[in-house]
Every structure is written in C-alpha cells, then in structure tokens.
Structure 1
C-alpha cells in the first residue's frame, strides 16, 4: 500500500466524521445518528456510492439544517470528502465506510429522510442484475429505512440502467414516480441541485453524455 493511502487511512481513523470498522460507533450507530453523530434532530439525507463525496459535501453546504451521510466502501475516496467537510467546518456532513448491501445494519426503520443514488456501477450483464443499486433486492432494503413520503433520487449517465430502473419503479404498486427526465441539464429540475456535480458526472457531461434523473417515493 502506498504511503499516501496509509496517511489517508490514518486520517480517516482520526476524523470523527468517518464511521468505519474498528471505531466504537461502527457497531452501535444504527438508530443513533441524530443523538450521537449529529447531536440534533435534523433530517438525515444519505448518498449511496458517494465516491469522493463531492455531492454529499455540496448538499451539506447548501442545507445547513439537514444532516448528510455519504456511503462508500473505498476509504481513500471517502478521505477526500471527509477532509473537505472538516476543513470547512461542516458538522452536518459524515461518511460511512461499508458495503451498500449492509446498509440496513447501520440505519433503523424510518431513520433516513431522503436517499440519493448517484452514478452507481450499471452492472449491464443480466447475470449481475442483483448487484444494481436499483434492483428489487436493494429497493426492498431501502423501503423500511426511509421515512414515509421520503424521496429517493437517482442520477446516472447510463441509459440502460436508467430505463431498467424507470420500468421497474413504474411497475411497483408501492412506489410513486414524482418526476423523471432523460436530459437533466435541459430540464426544469436542474436548478434544484444547485449545480453540484460529482467527479464522474463532470466526466460524463464533458463527453456529451446526457444525464438522466428520476425522483420517486415509497407509498405502500
């Protein structure tokens, strides 16, 4: 392992805004994010596959009266968002280092107010459907964790994954689609995101890829 990664991992271990294996809160944070991590009762917004945390941190800047948690398994990526939040004094931003399939081990029923799924791996092969973060398996896991009428936001450049997800949520009686677009930056919804872009979103946009966006909620 490179010296740079070792330094970053050591900083993650020291930063209180990173929850990861080996820290006391890793085993006890479920149901206690408000009281223990944020020490307030503000709504909790979670971003899955947060990468370097650009979106999580950006939302934290825009909405100081909400709490934001970026989830990713890569410690070297989380380090960037964690360090930026620390440097800017964003006490409403934290990061959870874990596999997303374990999300229900870290959040209690109804603990999440909103969920963001931003530019996940599309896993295009049919045999990999269960690994998609918008597959029935994952949707069923998210449902009890999100408050009633809580919103789920999904952004991707991948047309196949977007069409798969849209068709899936439209077919479910327990999901209501609020809005969707195949060209986010030409839609009336673009200003709602305050121009915040992830690293991958910038790369895809510069290549001319249209960004797709879907907003829905569980109703049943």
Structure 2
C-alpha cells in the first residue's frame, strides 16, 4: 500500500464526517443519522457508489437544508470528499465506508428521503447481474429504506446497464417511472443534477458518450 493511501486512511480515522469500522458510531448510526451524526432533523439524501464524493459534496453545497451521505467502500476515494467538505466547512455531508449490499445494517426502514445511484459499475456479464445496483435484490432493499414517494435517481453512461434497468423497473407494478432519457443533457431533466458533474461523468461526456438518466419512485 502506498504511503499516500496510508496517510489518507489515517485521516479518515479522525475525520468526524467519515463513518467507518472502528468508530463507535459505525455500530450505532442505523436509525440515528440525524441525532448522532448531523444533530438535526433535516432529510437524508444518500448517494451510492459516491467515489470521490464530488456529487455528494456538490449537492450539500446547493442544499444546506438537507443532509447528504456518500456511500463507498474505497477509503482513499472517500477521503477526497471528506477533506473537501472539511476544508470548505460543509457540515451537512458525511461519508459511510461500507459495501452497498450491507446498506440495511446502517439505515433503518424509510430513513432515506432521496437516493442517487451515479455511474455504478455496470457488471456487464450475465452472471454478474445480481451485483448491479439496479438488480431486483437491490431494488427490494431500496424499497424498504427509502421513504414512501421518495425519489430514486439513476445516471450512467452504460447503455446496456441503463436498458436493463429501465426494462426492469417498467415491468414492476410497484414502481412509477417519473421520467427517463437516453441523452440527459438534451432532455427536460438536465437541470436535475444542478450542474454538478463527477470526474467520471466529465470523462465520459468528453469522449462523446451520452449520459442516461431516470427517476423513479415506489408506489
């Protein structure tokens, strides 16, 4: 492991906006994000596979009246978002270091007000379908954790993953597809991300890839 990563991991241990194994709050935060992490009663908005946290922090800048939580397993990536928020004095943002399939260990039913799934690994092989963040297994988990009528946003550059996800949600009677597009920046939904782009989104867009987007809710 590089010296840079070791330094970042050490800083994560002390940064109060990082929730990870080894900290007391890691075992106590389920159902208690507002009281134990943020000390307020603002709505919780969660980004899955947040990477370096550009989108999580960006949303926190735009909406000080909400709390934002980025979830990722990569400690070095989380460090970037955590450090940016600390340097700017942004207090309505936190990062949870865990595997996304364990989300139910850290959020109580209907504790999440809104969910963002941004540029996740597409897992293109058929045998990896269950690992996709829009697979039936994950959708059932979101149905439990997101508040009734809470919006779930999904953005990707991967056409195969998007078409798979759209077909799946359209086949379910318990999901309402509010809107979708295969070309986000030429659509009526282009303001839904408030001008915030992740590093990967910028990279894909510069290569000419069209960004796909949908917003859904459970009914």
Q: TM-score, normalised by structure 1?
A: 0.99
> What's the counterpart of residue 125 of structure 1?
125
Map Cα deviations across residues 42-88 of structure 1 (whole Å, 9 max, x no partner). Answer: 11000000000000000000000000000000000000000000011
Matched, 1:97 2:97: yes
Offset, 1:189: 1.3
- The corresponding residue for 2:138 is 138
Instruction: Determine if the alignment matches structure 1 residue 57 to structure 2 residue 57.
Output: yes
Matched pairs, number: 219
- In 2, the alpha carbon distance for the partners of 1:2 and 1:125 equals 32
3-state secondary structure, aligned to 1:176 = strand
| 1:173 counterpart SS class | coil
In the TM superposition, residue 201 of structure 1 has moved relative to its aligned partner by 0.5
Distance 1:111 1:40 in 2: 14
- Cα deviation code 1:106-152 (max 9, x no counterpart): 00001000000000000011100000000000000111100000000
* Aligned structure 1 segments of 4 or more residues deviating by more than 3 angstroms: none
Matched residue of 2:31: which SS?
coil
Counterpart residue number, 2:29: 29
2: CA distance between counterparts of 1:194 and 1:116?
A: 13
Aligned equivalents of 2:209, 2:61: Cα separation in 1:
27
Normalising by structure 2, what TM-score? 0.99
2:101 aligns to what SS in structure 1?
helix
Note the C-alpha offset of 1:192. Answer: 2.5
